[in-house]
Amino acid sequence: MKKPLVGIVMGSDSDWPLVTRAHETLNEFDIGHEVHVISAHRSPDIAIDYACTARPRGLKVIIAAAGGAAHLAGIIAAHTSIPVIGIPIQGGALNGIDSLLSTAQMPAGIPVATVTLGSAGGVNAAILAAQIIATADEEIATKLEEYKKKLNTRVRAANDRIQAQLKTKK
């Protein structure tokens, strides 16, 4: 098992179905990571300890996912100097808008990079973490370039399929 470079934390195990996309994407890039359930409100001492010990343990980035008030990314960011990426979890009375705003609206000096609501959030958080790590790791940088080429190839193939369908309807 590779040494963890990315920490993934979520406020509740009910967040795992969306957060698992970050785990899977980091696995695709062969980036070592760890996963924990830590609540900003129900276990703030654990959240603070996790953040304070992240750099000494070798983590380069933390991905924090939470719904509702979504303070997990903020409390982590307040207690570490490594980059924090927030995944707002969709759901609840406001369908995730509260999570999005709580994650994105941070005070000056405590940045949290915030990705999208929904299933793309975990993937985007992992890609952003990989991009941060790739600034000092050529192997990961090369894997990211290949990933982007595959995205481009998929879009071109999709366009070719649509163009073929349009021709048959004339």
pLDDT at 161 over 80: yes
The whole-number pLDDT of residue 119 equals 87
- Contact 29/130 with Cβ under 8 angstroms? yes
pLDDT digits (tens, 9 = 90+) for 137-146: 999 999 999 9
Q: Considering the domain boundaries, does residue 122 fall inside one?
A: yes
Same domain? 59 vs 106? yes
Residue 85's beta-bridge partner residues? 63, 113
Q: How confident is the model at residue 168 (pLDDT cuts 50, 70, 90)?
A: confident
For residue 126, what is the domain's CATH number? Answer: 3.40.50.1970
Residue 169 has pLDDT above 80, yes or no: no
Q: Is the pLDDT of residue 82 over 90?
A: yes
1 occurs within a structural domain: no
Does one domain contain both 157 and 118? Answer: no
C-alpha pair distances (Å), 161 with each of 101, 157, 158, 168: 38, 6, 5, 11
My answer on whether 163 and 112 are in the same domain is no
Q: How far is CA 33 from the centre of its chain?
A: 12
User: Which pLDDT band holds residue 93 (cuts at 50, 70, 90)?
Assistant: confident
**Residue 50: pLDDT band by 50, 70, 90 thresholds?**
very high
Q: What is the tens place of the pLDDT at every residue in 98-127?
A: 999 999 999 999 999 999 998 899 999 999
pLDDT of residue 170: 67
Q: What is the mean pLDDT of the chain?
A: 95
- Domain holding 143, by residue range, is 138-170
- Note whether 132 and 154 are same-domain residues: no
Total structural domains within the chain: 2
Q: Do 145 and 124 belong together in one domain? A: no
